[in-house]
Amino acid sequence: MEGAPGALPRVLLVDDEAAVVDFYATALGADRFAVSTAFDGAEAAALMRTHAFDVIVSDVAMPGMDGLALLRKVRETDLDVPVILVTGGPTLDAATEAMEYGALRYLAKPVQATELKRMVEFAVDIHRMARAKREALTLISGAGGLPGDRAGLEARLQRSLDAIWLAYQPVVSWSRKRAIAYEVFARSGEPMLAHPQELFETALLLGRVGEVSRAVRAKAAASFDKLPADADLFVNIHPSELKDRALLADDDPLLPYAKRVVLEISERESLHLIPDLRAQLRAVRERGYRIALDDLGVGHAGLQTFIVLEPDVVKLDIALVEGIDVEEVRRNVVNSIVELCHKLEVHVVTEGVETAAQCNAVLSTGCDLLQGYFFGRPANVILQPKL
């Protein structure tokens, strides 16, 4: 739907008053812009499905779909097109919300013809710059990058929620020669948020971590129909989920399987902002869940996190495993951690085992529970480990 080279910039004017639309169209001039018009948000959204626009100028207060709702709809299909919102009753709150949702400018009526023309010309240049930057990023990294406004981020996140799926990686017991559990990793069919870190960072920014987490827990619960009867499930959670009452609700989909679920909390995450953390952890355990401290060895406050969590399981980060087969210092460090955890009756899983040499080195430290590419990569189906 890109315009032809040399074509006039396309502007969409949206207002429920025909006189206002005519005034805007005249102010812009037919020789400078190709103007399309709509008299409500729904009509504008329909036009956007068949036409590409360089700028959208929309009234805020309209019957049905208002200007802010239109802006959110725009961002579902176009991350870059500038939107100028116009209102007859400007307020600070409305202006703040307009900027947050990615409006280029928020103008008060009556708008002067010269001001409108100047603003639309500026928006055209901004749109060209945005497209050039996205093309450059795609050329360099193969990804189009995330939108910088709330409406664009929300559109991306909603598409991610609709396309969430889980990858499974086995956690093996070497002595028992079988998978004793599987860790699930959230994935999404939305390319910009395909990695779980990007997905949860965006959800955190938008205040929607709970929504994403509940979607993941629902998918995890459905996994038990396919999981071996003697295998548990490791599920990563964000610390903020400990404040979410849904985690402990009677209707939470994961609750019926709680005794077979280990909730992983990363040492990379800060827990100091969680009120009544110990009480929250106690409530989680009373439901039947176990707690794992993930990524041990990379956090800045590992000892304090260990003390507060009192984990049932500790997972050693891949950074401790790299080179463990050739570096005695690493083996000694891992050996010390394993001995201490066993003394405290805490199970230890060593992550990131990728080679036979690393596997043998880890086993020499006394750690029997292993995870890594050597046994199986994360997959969208539950596979038996390579042993």
Provide the pLDDT for residue 162. Answer: 81
Torsion, CA 127, CA 131, CA 136, CA 137, rounded to 10: 100
Which range has highest mean pLDDT (32-36, 189-193, 319-323)? Answer: 32-36
CATH of domain 10-141: 3.40.50.2300
CA 79 – CA 155 distance, rounded (Å)? 9
Provide the pLDDT for residue 130. Answer: 64
Q: Is the pLDDT of residue 140 over 50?
A: no
Rounded to 5°, angle at Cα 318 from 317 and 320: 75
Q: Is the pLDDT of residue 13 over 70?
A: yes
Q: Tally Cβ neighbours within 10 Å of residue 46.
A: 12
Helices 67-75 and 41-48: crossing angle, nearest 10°? 20
Q: Is the pLDDT of residue 287 over 90?
A: yes
Provide the pLDDT for residue 159. Answer: 80
CA 330 – CA 367 distance, rounded (Å)? 14
Provide the pLDDT for residue 229. Answer: 93
> Which pLDDT band, with edges at 50, 70 and 90, does 157 fall under?
confident
Q: What is the pLDDT of residues 184-235, one digit of tens each?
A: 998 887 766 767 777 777 777 777 888 888 989 999 999 999 999 999 999 9
Global pTM reads: 0.65
CATH of domain 150-370: 3.20.20.450
Q: Is the pLDDT of residue 325 over 70?
A: yes
Report the mean per-residue pLDDT for the chain: 84
Provide the pLDDT for residue 91. Answer: 64
387 to 81, 360, 384: CA distances (angstroms): 53, 13, 9
3-state SS of the chain is CCCCCCCCCEEEEECCCHHHHHHHHHHHCCCCCEEEEECCHHHHHHHHCCCCCCEEEEECCCCCCCHHHHHHHHHCCCCCCCEEEEECCCCHHHHHHHHHCCCCEEEECCCCHHHHHHHHHHHHHHHHHHHHHHHHHHHHHCCCCCCCCHHHHHHHHHHHHHCEEEEEEEEEECCCCEEEEEEEEEEECCHHHCCHHHHHHHHHHCCCHHHHHHHHHHHHHHHHHCCCCCCEEEEECCHHHHHCHHHHCCCCCCHHHHHHEEEEEECCCCCCCCCCHHHHHHHHHHCCCEEEEEEECCCCCHHHHHHHHCCCEEEECHHHCCCCCCCHHHHHHHHHHHHHHHHCCCEEEECCCCCHHHHHHHHCCCCCEECCCCCCCCECCCCCCCC
Domains of the chain: which residue ranges? 10-141, 150-370
Torsion, CA 269, CA 270, CA 276, CA 277, rounded to 10: 40
Q: What is the pLDDT of residues 233-256, one digit of tens each?
A: 999 988 878 877 888 999 999 999
Percent of the chain surpassing pLDDT 90? 42
Q: What is the pLDDT of residues 103-121, one digit of tens each?
A: 778 788 888 999 999 989 9
